[in-house]
Amino acid sequence: MTARTRRHVAVVGAGPAGLAAAAAALRAGARVTLVDAAERPGGQYHRMLPEQYRAARPERLHHGWAAFDRLRRHVLGHPRCAWWAESSVWSLERPGPGDETAPRVHVVRGPADGAGRERLVLDPDALVLAPGAHDRVLPFPGWDLPGVFTAGAAQALAKGERVVIGDRVVVAGAGPFLLPVAASLLEAGSTVLEVLEANPAATVLRGWGRRPWELASQAGKAGELAEYTALLARHRVPYRTGRAVIEARGDGRVEEVVTARLRADWSVVSGTERIVAVDAVCVGHGFTPQLELPLAAGCALREGFVQVDGDQRTTAPAVLAAGEITGIAGAPAARVEGLVAGWAAGGGDAAAPEARAARRRRDRARAFAARLAAAHPIGDGWPGWLRPETVVCRCEETTYGALCRAADAPASAAARAVKLGTRAGLGPCQARICGPSVAELLARRSPPPDLAAGGHRPATPHHRPVAQPIRLGELARPPKENL
Ligand SMILES: Cc1cc2nc3c(=O)[nH]c(=O)nc-3n(C[C@H](O)[C@H](O)[C@H](O)COP(=O)(O)OP(=O)(O)OC[C@H]3O[C@@H](n4cnc5c(N)ncnc54)[C@H](O)[C@@H]3O)c2cc1C
């Protein structure tokens, strides 16, 4: 069989999920095109340093580096794998009704800020989507000040550039991700004053503590957790539960934060406010899946994530999904979902022992995701932190007050009218940051739609037909097809 006549699998995303999917599809005998917007593989978890750094210890701040390094060399060096770095999938074109083929994949390739990027089109037999997530941050007064970073941005700078966001930093929000972020900041030279988990200890313990034997398969994550805890203890960094940063203040940039004790629903216990002097603050409230491509492909969602079957097949023909877009469960879960998806996409035998073992590991990893969600939920009371002048959409500087006024006025209450009237979500980030918060705030102010009377569910904030920026000049040029 020649390379051209083999089954062709396109994998979007070379993070833990996509890299594993590519490896499994290659093992199943397919040829693979692995596409990623970044210069180097690894995704968010194994964010590699730029080659020009010639780092003596690239593995610093990383877990599982040796296994990742072996996998990336195997996949990228494989004769049946085409590795497309700096290549963004900006659109997926669905086949017509009744057509069971995979969507056409539209790619723009070249440095994002460079001229002369080329347009390419892929027509694969199967498509694996593994674009990951971005971190979610809830708005609060002062969160738009310079010096306030999302936890993911702080982590990306520390891991991918060895740059620290400040000398005296408070890390706050919800979820275990705060711990590796605090660890990276400490290792890169910052003083971390405290780590604040907004959920009370009872919620965290109840979430993780139920049926502890089910977590036995996640020994790697438990080991990571133990390392972070030991590092925090060595640096005498307090980890406080039931407390949050509810305001950032400063003249031109953050100089202090107000922290406060929270009830289980995240409403503030008044009188518990404390002021902490900082030169940077790092906040993260979980992750938002990148759903533009799955939605463009026509994949159905379940509870905000891509719905998949036992083989990671989505509801769209010939489209599979793996990693954070199917549920937030961390890198090991993303990897094993990738193995299942890649094997199925490559035409591997579903009954093969390795496929069955991978599915069992994937199921256990999903149980971990359920724990994570139960232990670190987003409390309903966070809008109580906002003031009328608090900016909710940072790109368009839309305030909470403007949103409420638009939502309460009968003529402009529909979500689309609020968006057009206040411009919330219409700026450069196209609602990636504020979209989920705006949707939540609006849902609370309007009664649920009466579907029986012809009402419509509000559109998901992830619907973006152009998934990545593309210049008009690039659009005008004809693409290279059928690679
Ligand atoms: C900023 C950030 C930092 C994180 N750091 C850590 C950490 O240090 N430790 C930890 O345990 N977890 C971390 N996480 C969580 C982590 O993302 C996951 O556990 C894990 O990396 C998920 O793997 P994935 O393969 O699903 O996605 P990712 O690792 O996110 O990989 C997705 C890949 O898809 C590519 N991509 C996305 N859209 C497109 C497109 N349209 N075209 C082409 N390529 C595309 C991206 O460039 C990326 O390389 C971080 C998350 C974020 C958002």
Q: What is the pLDDT of residues 83-112, one digit of tens each?
A: 999 999 999 999 988 889 999 999 999 988
Q: Quickly state the pLDDT bin for 217 (edges 50, 70, 90).
A: low
Q: Tell me the two tokens of residue 101.
A: 């083929």
Name 188's Cβ contacts closer than 8 Å, sequence gap at least 6. Answer: 61, 158, 162, 163, 164
What are the C-alpha distances in Å from 328 to residues 186, 210, 370, 422, 433? 25, 19, 9, 31, 17
Q: Quickly state the pLDDT bin for 412 (edges 50, 70, 90).
A: low
Residue whose CA lies nearest to ligand 1 atom number 3: 152
261, 129 Cβ separation under 8 angstroms: no
What's the pLDDT score for residue 453?
A: 61
Q: Tens digit of pLDDT for each residue in 262-286?
A: 999 999 999 999 999 999 999 999 9
Q: Tens digit of pLDDT for each residue in 16-70?
A: 999 999 999 999 999 999 999 999 999 988 877 777 776 767 776 677 888 999 9
Of 389, 155, 145, residue with least CA distance to 245: 145
Q: Tell me the two tokens of residue 405.
A: 């006024």
Which of the pair, 475 or 389, is modelled with greater confidence?
389
Average confidence (pLDDT) over 259-263: 98
Name 414's Cβ contacts closer than 8 Å, sequence gap at least 6. Answer: none
Q: Give the distance (Å) from ligand 1 centre to CA of residue 129.
A: 12
Name 461's Cβ contacts closer than 8 Å, sequence gap at least 6. Answer: 425, 431, 435, 436, 438, 439
Of 412, 390, 409, residue with least CA distance to 401: 390
Q: Tell me the two tokens of residue 21.
A: 């999917």
Residue whose CA lies nearest to ligand 1 atom number 12: 45
Most confident of 221-225, 243-247, 413-417: 243-247
Q: Can you tell me the distance from the alpha carbon of 266 to that of 382, in angstroms, rounded to the nearest whole number? A: 6
What's the pLDDT score for residue 482?
A: 65
Q: Give the distance (Å) from ligand 1 centre to CA of residue 44.
A: 4
DSSP-H helix ranges across 323-467: 331-345, 353-375, 400-408, 415-422, 435-445
Q: Give the distance (Å) from ligand 1 centre to CA of residue 131.
A: 7
Question: Does residue 435's CB lie within 6 angstroms of at least one atom of ligand 1?
Answer: no
> Could you tell which of 44, 120, 282 is best to mutate to test the pocket of ligand 1, judged by most ligand atoms within 8 Å of the CB?
44
State whether residue 65 is helix, strand or coil: helix
pLDDT at 456 over 60: no
Handedness of CA 463, 468, 471, 476 (dihedral sign): negative
